[in-house]
Amino acid sequence: MSSGQTGMIVRTGLGWLVATLMAFPVFWMALAAFKTELDAIHSPPLLFFRPTLENFGEMQERVDYLAHATNSIAVAFGSTIIAILVAAPAAYSMAFFPTRRTRGVLLWMLSTKFMPAVGVLVPIYLVLIWAGMLDTRTGLLIITLLSNLPLVVWMLYSYFKEVPAEILEAARMDGARPLQQLGFLLLPLAAPGVASTALLAVILSWNESFWCINVTAVHAGTLALVIASFSNPEGFFWAKLSAASLASVAPIMIFGWLTQRQLVRGLTFGAVK
């Protein structure tokens, strides 16, 4: 056996090991969701058991899964669509008409992510009360939108920069206004990048839990709130918590699975061009 082959086997083995370690908690959570509470805390842990759906039934009794799922979908997709619509013109102007301060503006936008969210919890909470938007989908959507916007602008900016400036100049000669340049040229030409930006924003919004837990309750709570509501002070109910978690992350995992080709293509867009 050559040293190249040995190295290959070692690397493959390491790859599997790391992947297994990372996937195991999710796998174990999925198993626990179908166990009884007793099986779930059984020592030694059980790999084989009698599966049951009772946890999901009890979850549905306690919370309205569909209502929360609707909130999740509305907030994740709504905030993403608006973020793209707002970020695209910003990224266009920064990528193609940079000034001396463009770099600074980009860094400043990113700097809003430097502070932990809890640092602005009180002011934002007060603003929401004042605006009457506590526990509303609109309120949560606006917060999610604003917290994802810097990332979306940055990503679109870097994808737009890949488009040769002469193409847009040709379009200007042809009479294309800025919004037409965006719609007819930039968005189609950077489509893989725009799509992966959108996918990433959807996933981040879906899993966002800090704001959801703090500013929503029964009306606007997303699926993240469902998970949180099962880790309560009365004691842990592992099986029910796992069931709630599985039910909450399953839609976005399936979504990610279906779109992974697009996601990978977009994230490596510049590299393969």
Partner 1 sequence: MAVVELKGVSKHYGPVEAVKGVDLTIADREFVVIVGPSGCGKSTLLRVIAGLEEATAGDLAIDGRRVNDVSPDKRGLAMVFQSYALYPHMTVAGNMGFALRLARVPRAERADRVLAAARILRLDHLLDRKPKELSGGQRQRVAIGRSIVRDPKAFLFDEPLSNLDAGLRVQMRLELVQLHRRLSATTIYVTHDQVEAMTMADRIVVMNGGVVEQAGTPLEIYANPRNLFVAGFIGSPKMNLVAATVSTVAEREVGVMLPGGGTLGLAVKANGLAPGASATVGLRPELLSLASDGPLGGEVTVLEHLGDETLVYVDIGGGTLLTIKAPADDPVRIGDRVKVAITDRAKVRLFSADGTAVAVDGRR
- Binding residues vs partner 1 (CB under 8 A): 164, 166-167, 169-176, 180, 184-185, 188-189
User: HSE (CB half, 13 Å, CA atoms) of 79?
Assistant: 30
Going by C-alpha positions, the residue among 29, 32, 49 that lies closest to residue 41 is 32
Closest CB 273 distance from partner 1, rounded Å: 11
Closest CB 15 distance from partner 1, rounded Å: 36
**Residue with Cβ nearer partner 1 (21 or 173):** 173
**Residue with Cβ nearer partner 1 (46 or 171):** 171
Closest CB 170 distance from partner 1, rounded Å: 4
- Tokens matching residue 127: 């603003």
Q: What angle do CA 192, 201, 136 make, to 5 degrees?
A: 145
Q: What angle do CA 169, 171, 172 make, to 5 degrees?
A: 65
> Residue 3 and residue 200: Cα distance in Å, rounded?
40
Closest CB 269 distance from partner 1, rounded Å: 14
Closest CB 169 distance from partner 1, rounded Å: 5
**Residue with Cβ nearer partner 1 (177 or 219):** 177
**Residue with Cβ nearer partner 1 (117 or 171):** 171
Residue 197: count of CB within 10 angstroms of its CB: 29
**Residue with Cβ nearer partner 1 (41 or 185):** 185
Answer whether 181's CB lies under 8 Å from 115's CB: no
**Residue with Cβ nearer partner 1 (141 or 163):** 163
Answer whether 242's CB lies under 8 Å from 33's CB: yes
Going by C-alpha positions, the residue among 12, 196, 186, 217 that lies closest to residue 93 is 186
Closest CB 107 distance from partner 1, rounded Å: 22
